[in-house]
């Protein structure tokens, strides 16, 4: 006797699992204890202060899903309470800047631009954040808060609670390859936030040849739109980076396509590994094609995964492989197919660690279209899958739904794996 198919809408399942913001694309490493740089949005009784450090995005760009940064929460009056958190991204001067005016600082070369090109805030819901205590007590040997001026020397040691902030962008940000500045700001009632320094040159992600690891800069509202170099101008000795990481994915890790008229004929998907995913020593890696098929009413009806070796060609039949063993009884005549690329020794569409999400998969699909003929005939088109931004929430949803299918689908909803070689679609006779 065949097991009964579960008949339910998977979107009624409450997801309890949390997902990190993304893989680490860039990091400056751990705090070195040399300096704390105040950085805060304006609030009643407090002017805005910005501290900035640079990062680089290579390749074909990246979708930024979040960030981390580490700083001190320092008590001034009563118990300090964190309110708003803001992340700003700046280009490098002279972009987004008034170059006709005369700067009132020693130099603007390699500084952030006059204005940001993007700002995300917890107050307006464009970012969310969590805080993790790293150390109950941590001391930075010097600090800058009020004396953001040339040769001030800083304001001496500052002690507080060392906190790691993890920021998530519900809507990812696509950044083309390039050199940028990152500014984190934390509003603290009853205290101050100091962004902790790291070594310069960075001990984290290496900058590519020809790209300089720029030092940290600061400004407050009276200095705006100019900036001062924290080490060279304000402290008068040494240079600094800020402790932060940029999280996200390469732009081609997630792809999507629709297919129609499956009752008339089959659609096929051809997949190859372009060789973009490499090991640390430069060797080409196998990748996993994690495939998720949705019916038009948004239900995940099947999922599966297969290994694709570098430069190999594998294929799937939508009718025979993706919708022949669906979770729900009906076989749709159209579908949405999503493919997520990852690395790893095994492939499981329900378990894709965020650090394993990788670039390099290329996919093409066919579909049938009704032609304006009488009687109606159908034509076949083949087009590439379209890249889509992968949010942390989407990664959590599709893998969790697939895990539910594996655990509770009684074998239904598991699509067939890829076959070696390419396929062409034919109309049913």
CATH of the domain at 308: 2.60.290.11
Mark whether 63 and 190 lie in a shared domain: yes
Buried b / exposed e over 178-199, threshold 16 CB at 10 Å, is: ebbbbbbbbbbeebbbbbbbbb
Supply 28's token pair: 């400056």
Instruction: For the chain, 429 residues long, give each residue's pLDDT as a single digit of tens.
Output: 333 433 333 322 222 223 446 789 999 999 999 999 999 999 999 999 999 999 999 888 898 999 999 999 999 988 899 999 999 999 999 999 999 999 999 999 999 999 999 999 999 999 999 999 999 999 999 999 999 999 999 999 999 999 999 999 988 899 999 999 999 999 999 999 999 999 999 888 889 999 999 999 999 999 999 999 999 999 999 999 999 999 998 888 999 999 999 999 999 999 999 887 766 666 788 999 999 999 999 999 999 999 999 999 999 999 999 999 888 777 899 999 999 999 888 999 999 988 888 888 999 999 999 999 999 999 999 999 998 888 878 999 999 999 999 999 888 889 887 888 776 644 443
Mark whether 358 and 265 lie in a shared domain: yes
Q: Is residue 49 part of a domain?
A: yes
Q: Is residue 7 part of a domain?
A: no
Q: Is residue 427 part of a domain?
A: no
How many Cβ atoms from other residues are within 10 Å of residue 415's Cβ?
A: 26
Count of the separate structural domains present in the chain: 2
Mark whether 179 and 256 lie in a shared domain: no
Among 197, 232, 249, the domain-final residue is 249
Q: Is residue 207 part of a domain?
A: yes
Q: CA-to-CA distance for 339 and 294, rounded, in angstroms?
A: 11
Question: Minimal CA–CA distance to 182: which of 162, 198, 171?
Answer: 198
Q: What is the DSSP string of 128-190?
A: EEEEEEEEEEEEES-EESS--STT------EEEEEEEEEEEEEEEEEE-SEEEEEEEEEEEET
CA distances, 33 to each of 91, 152, 199, 235 (Å): 28, 19, 9, 15
Mark whether 116 and 196 lie in a shared domain: yes
Q: Return all residues near 99 (Cβ < 8 A) that are at least 6 apart.
A: none
Mark whether 241 and 110 lie in a shared domain: yes
Mark whether 312 and 414 lie in a shared domain: yes
Mark whether 36 and 167 lie in a shared domain: yes
Mark whether 310 and 227 lie in a shared domain: no
Mark whether 209 and 294 lie in a shared domain: no
Mark whether 59 and 30 lie in a shared domain: yes
Among 249, 284, 301, the domain-final residue is 249
**What values do phi and psi take at 419, rounded to 5?**
-115, 155
Q: Is residue 428 part of a domain?
A: no
Mark whether 209 and 311 lie in a shared domain: no
Among 219, 249, 279, the domain-final residue is 249
Question: Which run of H or of E encompasses 401?
Answer: helix 392-408
Mark whether 228 and 344 lie in a shared domain: no
- Residue range 104-154, pLDDT digits in tens: 999 999 999 999 999 999 999 999 999 999 999 999 999 999 999 999 999
- CB–CB of 368/261 below 8 Å? yes
- CB–CB of 28/70 below 8 Å? no
Q: Is residue 1 part of a domain?
A: no
Q: Is residue 3 part of a domain?
A: no
How many Cβ atoms from other residues are within 10 Å of residue 117's Cβ?
A: 13
- CB–CB of 207/213 below 8 Å? yes
- Residue range 67-81, pLDDT digits in tens: 999 999 999 988 899
SS3 353: coil
Q: Is residue 195 part of a domain?
A: yes
Domain that holds residue 384: 252-420
Question: Minimal CA–CA distance to 319: which of 298, 341, 339, 337?
Answer: 337
- Residue range 281-331, pLDDT digits in tens: 667 889 999 999 999 999 999 999 999 999 999 999 999 999 998 887 778
């Amino acid at each position: 006797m065949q097991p009964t198919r579960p008949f339910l809408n998977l979107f009624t399942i409450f997801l309890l699992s949390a997902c990190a913001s993304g893989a680490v694309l860039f990091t400056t490493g751990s705090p070195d204890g040399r300096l704390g740089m105040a950085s805060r949005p304006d609030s009643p009784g407090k002017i805005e202060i910005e501290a900035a450090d640079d990062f680089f995005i290579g390749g074909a760009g990246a979708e930024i899903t979040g960030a981390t940064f580490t700083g001190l929460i320092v008590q001034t009056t009563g118990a300090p309470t964190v309110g708003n958190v803001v992340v700003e991204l700046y280009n490098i001067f002279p972009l987004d800047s008034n170059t006709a005016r005369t700067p009132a600082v020693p130099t603007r070369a390699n500084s952030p631009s006059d204005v940001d090109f993007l700002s995300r805030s917890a107050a307006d819901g464009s970012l969310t954040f969590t805080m993790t205590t790293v150390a109950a007590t941590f001391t930075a040997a010097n600090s800058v808060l009020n004396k953001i001026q040339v040769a001030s020397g800083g304001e001496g040691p500052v002690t507080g609670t060392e906190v790691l902030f993890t920021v998530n962008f519900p809507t990812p940000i696509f950044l083309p390859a390039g050199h940028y500045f990152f500014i984190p700001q934390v509003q603290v009632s009853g205290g101050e936030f100091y962004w902790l320094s790291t070594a310069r040159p960075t001990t984290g992600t290496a900058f590519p040849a020809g790209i300089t690891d720029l030092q940290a800069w600061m400004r407050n509202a009276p200095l705006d739109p100019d900036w001062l170099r924290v080490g060279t101008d304000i402290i008068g000795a040494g240079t600094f980076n800020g402790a932060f990481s940029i999280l996200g994915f390469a732009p081609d890790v997630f792809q999507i396509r629709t297919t129609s008229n499956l009752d008339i004929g089959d659609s096929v998907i051809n997949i190859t590994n372009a060789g973009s995913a490499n090991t640390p020593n430069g060797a080409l890696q196998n990748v996993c094609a994690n495939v998720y098929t949705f019916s038009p009413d948004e239900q995940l009806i099947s999922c599966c995964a297969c290994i694709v070796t570098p430069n190999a060609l594998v294929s799937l039949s939508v009718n025979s492989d993706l919708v022949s063993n669906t979770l729900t009884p009906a076989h749709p005549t159209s579908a949405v197919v999503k493919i997520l690329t990852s690395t790893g020794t095994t492939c499981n569409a329900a378990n894709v660690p965020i650090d394993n999400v990788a670039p390099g998969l290329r996919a093409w699909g066919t579909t049938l279209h009704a032609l304006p003929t009488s009687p109606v005939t159908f034509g076949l088109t083949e087009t590439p899958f379209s890249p889509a931004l992968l949010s942390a929430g989407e990664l959590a949803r599709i893998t969790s739904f697939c895990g539910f299918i594996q655990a509770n689908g009684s074998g239904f909803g598991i699509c067939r794996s890829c076959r070696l070689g390419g396929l062409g679609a034919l109309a049913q006779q």
